[in-house]
Amino acid sequence: MTSGQTLQSVVDSLGEHAEKTALLVLGKKDRQRWSFQELAACARSFANGLVRQDFKRGDAVSLIAENSPEWIAAVIGIIRAGMVAVPLDVQLGDKTLVHTLQDSKARAIITTKKRVERIEKLDLKEKAKLILLDAGEDDEQSWKQVLEEEKTELP
């Protein structure tokens, strides 16, 4: 990032690298490759979906999940939509987690099936929308339900 660039301009330029590898996930038996173009398209779709679901510029969206390509795309999408990404360590204690979520006024929490039960048990004054990175496409909490192909006017 150069001194004249904003984070938003860096996000907007992701697709310029097209087919170059942006992310490479090495599993025990396989590997998953995301190109810059795929990452940019996924982030754009997520940003569009958040806007279509009435999230507004400046809204806080928290992430409580392990690192993954979807996590990265979600963070970029949140930034692209003009919202505030609030990444939280999965190892935070419940008291700290509750305080941070309430203090940030997170309107959504992006997490995984592994973490959702814990989050649902938290004593939050205002419930945030749960979005699950690893839920099936038919699950209404799946992040795939948020992805929106149609272009939305982003801030």
Question: The pTM is what?
Answer: 0.85
10-residue mean pLDDT series, the chain (155 residues): 61 73 84 89 92 94 95 94 96 96 97 95 91 92 83 60
Q: What is the dihedral of CA 114, 120, 121, 125, to 10 degrees?
A: 150
Q: Provide the pLDDT for residue 153.
A: 63
Residue with tokens 């590997």: 31
Alpha carbon distances (Å) from 136 to 26, 100, 153: 22, 28, 28
**Residue 40 neighbours by CB under 8 Å, 6+ apart:** 14, 15, 76
Q: Provide the pLDDT for residue 23.
A: 82
Tell me if 106 sits within 8 A of 126, measured CB to CB: no
Report H helices in the chain.
Answer: 7-12, 36-52, 69-80, 94-104, 113-121, 143-146
Give Dmax (Cα) for the chain: 45
User: How many other C-beta atoms can be found within 10 angstroms of the C-beta atom of residue 89?
Assistant: 9
Which domains are seen in the chain, by residue range? Answer: 7-146 (3.40.50.980)
